[in-house]
Amino acid sequence: MNEAQVIALAGLTQAAALVRTLATEGRCDAGALEASLASVFRLDAESAAAVYGGLDGVRVGLRTLIHQLDGAQRDLAVTQIVLSLLRIERKLARRSDLRRRLQDGILAAQRQAEHFGLAHASVSARLGELYAQTLSTVRPRVVVTGNPLHLRQPAQVERIRATLLAGVRAAVLWRQLGGNHWSLLLRRRQCEMIARGLLSRVTLDGG
């Protein structure tokens, strides 16, 4: 387990945590959401941290990952979303047709983001629609539970789907960096220690 793999895991956990809070509370950390959505467009970043615009981009993810690994503060709903996203990534790896559609859709959404800005509602709507047309067709689908009041709002559903897309992007990064299910199971303590070190670094840097 190395720092780059832990950053990718933090990105994955962050996406799951954001989905959870969007579904239950109708809101989430705006900075973390922007960093996660931006990661979808950074396909050729020079490092895992650069995918999120720096370590501060996964601050929420690092904190959540530590809680998930520690056990005492684990959120089982977040764990379930993480596992579902990892399963989708494995199936995506075997579907070249879906990967092509995703790549084309991401390029189109990137042009929209450059024109309107990443935080614009139309960008999350485009990414959410892309998720619905591609990854949402993979079975079993990610099951998101929460407050029906929020889950019935189209704009909120689009944000959730866009964030799930960011989660799959993080799962792809995790695999590209050599991450696998067994390494996580066997090296949980090492992963937690690295995550704590990275979070301390973000805090000391003031960012």
Q: Residue 53: is it exposed, middle or buried by C-beta count within 10 angstroms (0-12/13-18/19+)?
A: middle
Q: How far apart are CA 14 and CA 34, in angstroms?
A: 11
Q: Is the peptide bond between 140 and the residue preceding it cis, with omega within 30 degrees of 0?
A: yes
pLDDT of res. 206? 58
pLDDT of res. 65? 96
What pTM does this model have? Answer: 0.94
Q: How many domains does the chain have?
A: 1
CB-based contact 79:64 (threshold 8 Å): no
Q: Which domain holds residue 199?
A: 3-205
pLDDT of res. 205? 72
Q: How far apart are CA 202 and CA 207, in angstroms?
A: 6
Supply the CATH number for residue 122's domain: 1.10.3890.10
Q: How far apart are CA 185 and CA 111, in angstroms?
A: 39
**pLDDT in single tens digits along all 207 residues of the chain:** 899 999 999 999 999 999 999 999 999 999 999 999 999 999 889 999 999 999 999 999 999 999 999 877 789 999 999 999 999 999 999 999 999 999 999 999 999 888 888 878 889 999 999 999 999 999 989 999 999 999 999 999 999 999 999 999 999 999 999 998 877 778 889 999 999 999 999 988 754
End-to-end Cα, the chain, rounded Å: 24
pLDDT of res. 46? 94
Show contacts of 68-71: CB within 8 Å, 24+ apart.
68/13, 69/188, 69/189, 69/191, 69/192, 69/195, 70/192
CB-based contact 13:61 (threshold 8 Å): yes
145 to 20, 70, 81, 160: CA distances (angstroms): 8, 23, 10, 11
CB-based contact 164:92 (threshold 8 Å): no
